[in-house]
Amino acid sequence: MTEKEFRNLAGSLELSKNERDKLNSKYNKLNNIIHNNLPGNVKVAAFELGGSFAKDTILPGRNELDIVTVISPKNKHFYYTVLAKANMNAIENCLLYNLFSNKKYEGNELEKRFERNYERNTLKIEFDDGIKVDFLVKFNEDDLIKVSNNKEIENFYLERDRQQLKFIAKAKEEYSLYRNVVKMLKKFRDDKSLYNIKSYLLEVLLYHSLSRKDVNNTYTDYFKAVVGGLDRFISGQIIEVTEEMYKYLGTKGKVNTRDKYKVIDVANKSNNVAKHVNDKNINEFNTLRNYINSLIQDNNQNKQKTNSNSKTELKLGLFYMKNDRTRFQWKYEINNDFKKHGGNYKIDKGKFDIESGILSGLDNALRYIVKNNYNKNLLLDLPNDFKNIFINGKYNGRELESDNVKIRKAIYRYINNNEIKIKYK
């Protein structure tokens, strides 16, 4: 797809004014009913828009709303399982009396309109106008009896949802095409019926992908970054946002998961939002990755440019910082021209790490080479003691760290997928 085609697609995914007004009207009506008709022993602590409508990433034709709902009892404290059921009962009874009691429903038609999911703490209701509303039952932390061995309860705190919305707002501020690309990714997923790829997972993965490299403000560059992010995810690397984003959101703690596939919740580092992904359904992510790659490869062919060099020479490693011979920086340069065809880069661990530095440089530089259609006969200039990292997976006679083993495998897969041939200088 060309940039113009991507822009046209983005425009086609905007909600019409009529759709937006209809969903806002439904929220306002429900807000009024819930606030004014609940029994006296409970109070509405929060009734807020959530999900894709609140994030402004909803696709047209989706008559769906997510409403984050917190109902607090006057008598504290509750175990959260008890309070979840009590809250669902309060919402369901309130709406039954005020919206469904004046119409006759055949058979079990009315029962089918109400669907509870205790694992996700949701109550989904389909209304007569065709709008489906997911009430996301959340808690104020102070309303609950503390259960020290149950970490998952943190996912149902009201503050977690507010942090996720704050994350999306910040991502849209940092990357102007972020919102549009999220919507496109959701459309591609839906078109391919890839039901195990959750929207929130895509939102975190997109931000991770963009923060890993410098991108131009083009859809092609954004989607190339996504392909790289999917490669890392499929290879088992941890997908998470930057430390700067965690700090902005006030998210503390450490990542702690043994799952094979990992995408870390921006609001709760102990929550892996990809814990449902396994070796059976990982192919859905491969399908999405290959589809996106086919779109941007088409774009490359449309604007094909070739470099006249018979080979491309890539040099990377540690260099002295300009004006400071006591400090080093990571750098790569292509065809001996750093100014036009090179870049500085950081490593994720935030420390001096030879393994991560070399592998990050290869990852960045190879993507630059493919993106700019350089000759894929590559002459790679690495210091001798660094070659073992890439060639043999060892440094100073020891095996690479497990995270770097995965990065190295992802780089080799990228080389094979893009038919890059490497010789060493």
pLDDT, tens digit (0-9, with 9 covering 90-100), for 89-128: 888 888 888 888 777 777 777 888 889 888 788 899 998 8
* pLDDT value for 132: 93
Q: Do the beta carbons of residue 335 and residue 342 sit within 8 Å?
A: no
Residue type, 119: E
Handedness of CA 208, 209, 211, 213 (dihedral sign): positive
Q: Do the beta carbons of residue 122 and residue 134 sit within 8 Å?
A: yes
Supply the DSSP symbol for 259. Answer: -
DSSP string of 314-341?
EEEEEEEETTEEEEEEEEEEETTEHHHH
Segments making up each domain of the chain, as ranges:
3-154, 161-302, 312-424
The domain 3-154 having CATH identifier 3.30.460.10: the answer here is yes
How big is the chain by its Cα radius of gyration, in Å?
25
Q: Do the beta carbons of residue 40 and residue 71 sit within 8 Å?
A: no
Cα 125 to Cα 122: distance, rounded to the nearest angstrom: 10
Cα 153 to Cα 236: distance, rounded to the nearest angstrom: 26
Which class does domain 312-424 fall in? Answer: alpha beta
321-329: long-range contacts (C-beta < 8 A, 24 or more apart)? 328/352
* pLDDT value for 78: 64
* pLDDT value for 308: 42
* pLDDT value for 155: 66
* pLDDT value for 352: 46
Q: Please state the length of the chain.
A: 425
Contacts of 242 (CB under 8 A, 6+ apart): 211
- The low-confidence residues of the chain, meaning pLDDT below 70, are 73-80, 143-152, 154-155, 298-310, 317-330, 337-353, 384-385
Supply the DSSP symbol for 152. Answer: G
Give pTM, 2 decimals: 0.69
Cα 389 to Cα 391: distance, rounded to the nearest angstrom: 6
* pLDDT value for 397: 77
Cα 202 to Cα 179: distance, rounded to the nearest angstrom: 11
Name the 3-class secondary structure at 275: coil
* pLDDT value for 274: 95
* pLDDT value for 351: 42
Neighbours of 215 (CB within 10 A): 18
* pLDDT value for 53: 95
